[in-house]
Each structure stands twice: as C-alpha cells, then as structure tokens.
C-alpha cells in the first residue's frame, strides 16, 4: 500500500501526530472498494436521473413546490456522489489520504456541506408535505414561494454548518477514515462544535421529519375516519330502499334491474344511478354522491401512500445516519474503542443514504417512473 501522507491536524488542545492510515488488509480493502464503487455509481446515476427527469419537464414539474425540493435533494446527493465519494475509493485503494492537507480541508467542507444539505432537504420536504396536507386550500403561488424560502434556508443552513468545521472552531482530518471528515477531541471548543454540528446536521432534520410525519399521520387518520362513515351511511341508505321503485324524470323507470338515469335531471327531479345488488335489491346512489365518494377514496389512498413513503424515508435516514453519529461521539472521547472497519462502515452507510433517496422516490411514484424512463430513453437507451 502507499505510504500515508503527512497530515498534522491542530485540535483544540494542540497538535497531534499524523495518522498511520486505514490499516486495512487486502482481504478487507478489495470488498470495501467494490461496495464503494457500486454505491458511487448507484448514487451518481440515480440522482442524475432524478435531476435530468425534473429538468426535462422543467416548466411543468419543477415549478411545483414538492418537485423543487426533491430537485434540491437530488442535486446535493448527486454532488456528494461526484465530488466526495470517489476520493473515499482512492483512499481505500491507497490505504491513506494521499492528496494533501489543502484538498483534505476542501473535502471535509464538501462532505459536511452536502450531507447537511441533503438532510435538510429531507426535513424541508417533510415540512412542505405537512403544509400541503394540513392546508390543502393554499394556492400554488403561496406554496411555491414557501418552498423557495425553505430551499434558500436549507442551503444557507448547510453552508453555515460546514464553515464552522474549517474555520478553527472544528477540525478536519483524514485520520483513519475513508474520506476527510470533521474530527473532534475533548477540549471545550471542540466539544461545543461537535454538539453544534450534530444538532444542526442530524438532530434538527430528524426532529423536523419526526414531528411533521407524526402530525401528517394523525391528519390522514382523522380524515380516513370521516371517509369510511360517509360510505357506510350511503350503504345504509341503500338498505333502507330495498327493491323499491325508482322514479326518474317523467316517472319513467321502475323496477329492480340495473338502470342508469339520464345524463342530466329534468323537471326538477333528482339524478340517480341505480345498480343491481343481487338478492338484496338495488343500490340507489345519487351520481354526485358517487363522484364525491370516489374522489374521497382516491384522495385518501394518495395520502396513505404519502404516509408510507415518508415513514420509509424517515426510517431509512435514522438507520443509516444514527450509527455514524454515535461513532463520532464515541471516537471523540475514546478513539481507541472505534476501529477503522467500524468507521468505514458508518461512512459507507451515510453514502448509501444518498444513493437510496432517489430509489425510494422513484419506486413510490408511478408518474415519476414513467418520466424517468422517458428521460433515460431520450439519452439513448
């Protein structure tokens, strides 16, 4: 393996000697490099497809608040795949960071900025979804303006967090990691930065997602309880009118068969649709009620699907990010307890999160899958 580059990192309590490298055996490096390669390719291609799909239909889709935020998420994840992840592969093959301290600082900034931006995008998407569910009557212009404000705040928030780790409050070191990362020790200055970055980059987005998804779940659940009794009352109305005659306009139709009323009422009579209901007689429903009930069920199904999608995203985020945060804290107080393999796996899990985001959105959105296929085919499939 290549010899480790000299890289002295100044911490809050003074200088520490340069790291000795990843210390991976060949049997560890080869499978890790292979998995990293797959994650990099998957994250890059997946997010490029999302960006390209939305850009291809820009006037119709990108102006929609939700799509604008998904576009931001894909840009952040895509840049992470292109500007940060490849150097982790170089480090794995070389067994140490070989690109010098200046580039290490740049990579540390980009890692912090892009991961925080991605996490904040997830939080802003959940917040925007909550506004949409809780305020369905809000105009498109208001929703779009709100989404732009959320996007702007997210980028500024991520940049502010990233600046702290390279400005002297925090530190960036190649250490024994796959890529240059913020590192902390037990000095007061370092620990305050660790707490700040953890809250701003992980805890805040997690809380936003958790709280908004909880509220969305209860709103959807409350609405579903309203839809079901409404349908039950209509069925009860059917049972109260078994085998009875049905007067249409001009008293024209009576009986138990399947009868479709006229296209519009005349002479002031109500418009009904009559359907056969077997031995129980006929089902008598006003067409307006049928349309309303179908619309309610359709809307409820969409909201239920949204809840499931959001829960998948939240669960995936927590599973893939929490180990990295825990290892970061443990490493700051007792670095000897965290080996290179553990650090590599937790960083890899963070990378997997950026690769998985476009997969979740595409699998859960039929119209997006169709648009993505069109984009891929337009590129020469």
How does pLDDT run across 193-211, given as a tens digit for each residue?
999 999 999 999 999 999 9
**Could you report the per-residue pLDDT of 257-303, keeping only the tens digit for each?**
444 444 444 444 444 444 444 444 444 555 555 555 555 556 556 66
A 10 A CB-CB count for 23 gives: 15
- Overall domain count for the chain: 1
* 10 inside domain: no
CATH number for 82: 1.20.1070.10
Instruction: Please report whether residue 236 resides in a domain.
Output: no
Residue 191: per-residue pLDDT:
93
> Which DSSP letter does residue 255 get?
S
Range of the structural domain that residue 373 is part of: 21-227+292-378
Residue 252 lies in a domain: no
Cα–Cα–Cα angle for 214, 220, 223, rounded to 5 degrees? 140
Alpha-carbon gap, residue 14 to 18, rounded angstroms: 13
Q: Residue 282's beta-bridge partner residues?
A: 276
Asked whether residue 60 is domain-assigned, the answer is: yes
pLDDT at 302: 63
Residues of the chain with pLDDT under 70: 1-23, 58-63, 175, 226-304, 380-381
Nearest to 57 by CA among 380, 305, 367, 302: 367
SS3 state of residue 247: coil
For the stretch 325-334, pLDDT in tens is: 999 999 999 9
What does the pLDDT read at residue 296? Answer: 55
Residue with tokens 């479709």: 260
Strand partners, 182: 172
CA–CA–CA angle 131, 137, 142 (5° rounding)? 65
Burial state string for 241-273 with b = 16 or more CB within 10 A and e = fewer than 16 = eeeeebebbeeebeeeeebebeeeeeeeeeebb
Its pTM surpasses 0.85: no
- Per-residue three-class SS string for 79-102: HHHHHCHHHHHHHHHHCCCCCCHH
* Confidence at residue 206, expressed as pLDDT on a 0 to 100 scale: 95
156 within domain boundaries: yes
Instruction: Give 368-377 contacts, CB < 8 A, sequence gap 24+.
Output: 368/53, 371/53, 371/56, 371/57, 371/61, 372/49, 372/50, 372/53, 374/53, 374/56, 375/49, 375/52, 375/53, 375/56, 376/49
285 falls within a domain: no
Q: What was the pLDDT predicted at 97?
A: 85
Structure tokens at 225: 């309880």
Report residue 233 as tokens. 């009352």
Q: Write out pLDDT tens, residues 242-253.
A: 544 444 444 444
Which residues, including other chains, have CB under 8 Å from residue 138's CB and lie 6 or more apart? 131, 132
The DSSP letter of residue 200 is I
Is 242 contained in some domain? Answer: no
Residue 286 lies in a domain: no
Q: How far apart are CA 60 and CA 65, in angstroms?
A: 11
Residue with the two structure tokens 């400005």:
167
Residue 66 has a pLDDT of 79
Residue 248: per-residue pLDDT? 43
Distance between CA 263 and CA 120 in Å, rounded?
Answer: 52
* Nearest in space to 365 (alpha carbons), one of 66, 45, 59: 66
Q: What is the mean pLDDT of the chain?
A: 78
Strand partners, 276: 282
State the pLDDT at residue 367. Answer: 79
The confidence score (pLDDT) of residue 21 equals 56
């Amino acid at each position: 393996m290549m010899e480790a580059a000299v890289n002295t990192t100044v911490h809050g309590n003074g200088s520490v000697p340069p790291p000795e490298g990843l210390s991976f055996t060949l049997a560890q490096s080869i499978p890790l490099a292979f998995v990293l390669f797959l994650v990099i390719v998957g994250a890059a291609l997946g997010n490029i497809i999302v960006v390209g799909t939305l850009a291809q239909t820009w006037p119709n889709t990108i102006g929609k608040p939700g799509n604008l935020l998904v576009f931001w998420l894909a840009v952040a994840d895509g840049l992470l795949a292109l500007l940060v992840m490849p150097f982790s592969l170089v480090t794995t093959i070389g067994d140490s960071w070989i690109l010098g301290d200046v580039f290490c600082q740049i990579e540390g900034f980009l890692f912090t900025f892009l991961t925080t931006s991605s996490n904040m995008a997830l939080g802003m998407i959940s917040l925007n979804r909550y506004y949409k569910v809780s305020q369905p009557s809000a105009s498109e212009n208001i929703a779009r303006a709100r989404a732009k404000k959320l996007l702007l705040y997210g980028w500024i928030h991520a940049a502010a967090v990233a600046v702290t780790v390279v400005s002297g409050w925090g530190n960036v070191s190649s250490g024994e990691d796959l890529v240059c990362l913020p590192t902390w020790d037990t000095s007061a200055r370092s620990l305050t930065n660790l707490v700040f970055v953890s809250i701003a980059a992980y805890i805040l987005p997690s809380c936003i997602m958790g709280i908004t998804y909880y509220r969305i779940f209860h709103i959807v659940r409350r609405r579903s309880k309203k839809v079901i009794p409404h349908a039950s009352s209509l069925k009860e109305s059917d049972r109260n009118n078994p085998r009875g005659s049905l007067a249409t306009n001009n008293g024209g139709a009576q009986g138990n068969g399947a009868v479709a009323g006229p296209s519009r009422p005349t002479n002031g009579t109500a418009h009904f649709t009559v359907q056969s209901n077997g031995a129980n007689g006929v089902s008598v429903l006003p067409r307006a009620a049928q349309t309303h009930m179908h619309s309610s069920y359709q809307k409820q199904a969409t909201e239920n699907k949204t809840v499931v999608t959001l829960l998948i995203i939240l669960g995936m985020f927590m599973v893939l990010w929490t180990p990295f945060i825990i290892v970061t804290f443990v490493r700051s107080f007792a670095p000897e307890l965290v080996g290179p393999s553990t650090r590599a796996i937790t960083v890899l899990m963070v990378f997997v999160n950026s690769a998985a985001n476009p997969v979740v959105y595409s699998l859960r959105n039929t119209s997006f899958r169709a648009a993505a296929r069109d984009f891929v085919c337009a590129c020469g499939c």
